[in-house]
């Protein structure tokens, strides 16, 4: 009995003979015994004592065993102590009542010593296991919290230098005075930085999914326009590899849908990108089918269609044993030509996102012949008006110095990192703006008290006063029609960071690395408010 040498048992019984018999053999068995002769006495004793287990008689004068059990389970100090009822009652109803009140077991009088010991030992072992599980959960929660903090810091610390790499290389690529050979070198820098950013985002995504922090954000959009943009991206990649890319949409696809546009795009780009990556001859075919009406979710009256997204390639294919691994994080089908490309997270993320949407990702493959990936998604149809299909010949929005002539603005940049200052100021200059600079929140407030600005691009993490506090102070000092439009420009890109910025009073949010087009988008968003 070494494992229970100092285990403390409280006996609550109004019969002296029962107390004596139980006490004697429990003490002989190595237990420490406490005694209470009724419910009131037990409650008083438990104000100071904390036994490991309680043997509780049911039929007692005053507070009976059931009422005593109720009070013990309502008391934080005693609610987790196992209670074994002792009773001469044989009615099943009484036993069920006791168990429903929180008791863990019953001992029927007259009791056998071996049975009492066995039942006590079982409950003590269960309690020890429960404590171990609770401790393990606490350790796991602490580890998850540490992982989340690490990923948050990693995301911020990597995005800050990437902002400089991608920002400067992006502007150099658009410069008319760079020789072709140098442009090729700059493009390598830009593409490598973009690839690193994709890897960072993949790691953050898989972490959010596995921790249950990923949420779908549904919105209304044009399916045709959405698919057209996905196809255009993939056609460029396929052309670079000199393989064909065929797009075969059903003629009966719905015009507008309600879905998480960002995540559906992520799934399709992952699947199509993989197909292109592992195909050297032949090409890739992207098929989108309308499979007809889908079952409404939760008895909803909304209209749903089951859409199949299917990707076929003539690439290297996979062996059956590889198919069991490709959906696991950080796993890739082994091929010496591609082992060092990517994290192996794309398919894992796609599968998990599809599962969040209520479906699954299927695959068929033959080595040397190619692979087919497909998923059937139940998509809600948008009955509201949807923007018409964009004409193929429509040019992209022009982002140059003429932008500021169309939308003249006074802009203040609040940023403490020198590299990020240069990148943001140059991007704004490319749009035709000569922005002023403040290096922290306090300095920004001083500038705003002297000068009037339409726009403030606000970093979040800064010395002396961060962007959150500076924004709150702006709201305190300036009336709604007088205060500037505040746009967060931050390397904080984890889930919830955008919401924190908006809750602090910022009007928009841009995550680093920043692109000129994203700055232009945010300024256009300001323009539609009618404040300029």
> Is residue 441 a contact partner of residue 466, using CB atoms and an 8 Å limit?
yes
pLDDT confidence tier of residue 173, bands split at 50, 70 and 90:
confident
Same fold? 2-111, 402-527: yes
Strands (DSSP E) contained in 367-435 are: 370-381, 411-414
CATH number corresponding to 402-527: 3.40.50.2300
- Alpha carbon dihedral 395, 399, 402, 407, in 10-degree steps, equals 110
User: Phi then psi for 280, rounded to 5 degrees?
Assistant: -105, -30
Q: Is the pLDDT of residue 457 over 80?
A: yes
Domain 219-381 sits in CATH 3.40.50.300: no
Question: What 3-state class would DSSP assign to 286?
Answer: strand
Q: Which of 160-174, 375-389, 457-471 has the highest mean pLDDT?
A: 457-471
Domain boundaries, the chain: 2-111, 219-381, 402-527
Distance CA 164, CA 520 (A): 18
Q: At what angle do helices 65-74 and 92-100 cross, to 10 degrees?
A: 20
DSSP assignments along 23-38, one per residue: HHHHHHTT-EEEEESS
Q: Is the pLDDT of residue 280 over 90?
A: yes
Structure tokens at 99: 């168990």
Q: Is the pLDDT of residue 10 over 90?
A: yes
Q: Is the pLDDT of residue 96 over 50?
A: yes
> Is residue 13 a contact partner of residue 22, using CB atoms and an 8 Å limit?
yes
Question: What 3-state class would DSSP assign to 64?
Answer: coil
CATH classification for the domain delimited by 2-111, as one of 3.80.10.10, 3.30.420.40, 1.10.3720.10, 3.40.50.2300 = 3.40.50.2300
pLDDT at 167: 86
Distance CA 103, CA 482 (A): 65
Distance CA 505, CA 497 (A): 13
**DSSP single-letter state for residue 298:** G
pLDDT confidence tier of residue 514, bands split at 50, 70 and 90:
confident
């Amino acid at each position: 009995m070494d494992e229970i040498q100092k285990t403390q048992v409280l006996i609550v019984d109004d019969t002296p003979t029962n107390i004596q018999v139980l006490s004697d053999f429990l003490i002989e068995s190595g237990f420490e015994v406490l005694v209470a002769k009724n419910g009131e006495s037990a409650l008083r004793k438990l104000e100071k004592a904390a036994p490991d287990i309680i043997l509780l008689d049911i039929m007692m004068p005053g507070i009976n065993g059931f009422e005593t059990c109720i009070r013990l389970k309502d008391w934080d100090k005693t609610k987790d102590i196992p209670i074994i009822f002792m009773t001469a009652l044989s009615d099943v109803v009484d036993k069920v009542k006791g168990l429903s009140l929180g008791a863990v077991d019953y001992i029927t009088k007259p009791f056998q010593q071996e049975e009492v010991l066995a039942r006590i030992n079982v409950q003590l072992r269960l309690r020890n296991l429960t404590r171990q599980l609770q401790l393990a959960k606490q350790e796991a929660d602490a580890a998850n919290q540490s992982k989340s903090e690490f990923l948050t810091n990693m995301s911020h610390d990597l995005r800050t230098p990437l902002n400089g790499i991608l920002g400067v290389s992006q502007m150099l690529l658009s410069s008319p005075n760079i020789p072709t050979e140098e442009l090729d070198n700059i493009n390598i820098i830009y593409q490598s930085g973009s690839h690193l950013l994709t890897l960072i985002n993949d790691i953050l995504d898989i972490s959010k999914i596995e921790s249950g922090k990923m949420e779908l954000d549904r919105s209304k959009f044009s399916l045709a326009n959405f698919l057209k943009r996905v196809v255009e991206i993939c056609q460029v990649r396929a052309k670079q590899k000199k393989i064909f890319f065929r797009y075969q949409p059903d003629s009966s696809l719905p015009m507008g849908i309600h879905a998480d546009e960002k995540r559906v795009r992520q799934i399709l780009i992952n699947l199509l990108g993989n197909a292109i990556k592992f195909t050297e001859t032949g090409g890739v075919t992207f098929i989108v089918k309308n499979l007809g009406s889908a079952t409404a979710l939760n008895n909803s009256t909304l209209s749903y269609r089951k859409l199949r997204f299917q990707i076929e390639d003539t690439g290297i294919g996979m062996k059956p044993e590889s198919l069991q691994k490709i959906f696991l994080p950080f796993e890739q089908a082994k091929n010496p030509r591609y082992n060092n490309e990517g994290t192996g997270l794309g398919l894992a993320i796609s599968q998990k996102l599809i599962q969040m949407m209520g479906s699954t990702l299927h695959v068929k493959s033959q080595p040397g012949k190619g692979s087919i990936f497909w998923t059937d998604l139940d998509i809600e149809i948008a009955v509201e008006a949807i923007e018409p299909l964009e004409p193929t010949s429509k040019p992209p929005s022009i982002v140059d110095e003429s932008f500021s002539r169309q939308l003249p603005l006074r802009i203040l940049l609040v940023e403490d990192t020198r590299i990020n200052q240069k990148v943001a100021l140059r991007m704004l200059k490319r749009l035709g703006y000569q922005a002023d600079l403040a290096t922290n929140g306090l300095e920004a407030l001083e500038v705003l008290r002297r000068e009037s600005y339409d726009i403030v691009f606000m970093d979040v993490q800064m010395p002396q006063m961060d962007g959150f506090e500076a924004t709150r102070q702006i709201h305190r000092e300036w009336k709604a029609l007088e205060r500037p439009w505040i746009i967060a420009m931050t390397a904080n890109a984890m889930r919830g960071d955008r919401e924190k910025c908006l809750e602090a009073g910022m009007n928009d949010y841009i995550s680093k690395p920043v692109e000129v087009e994203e700055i232009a988008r945010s300024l256009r968003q300001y323009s539609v408010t009618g404040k300029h």
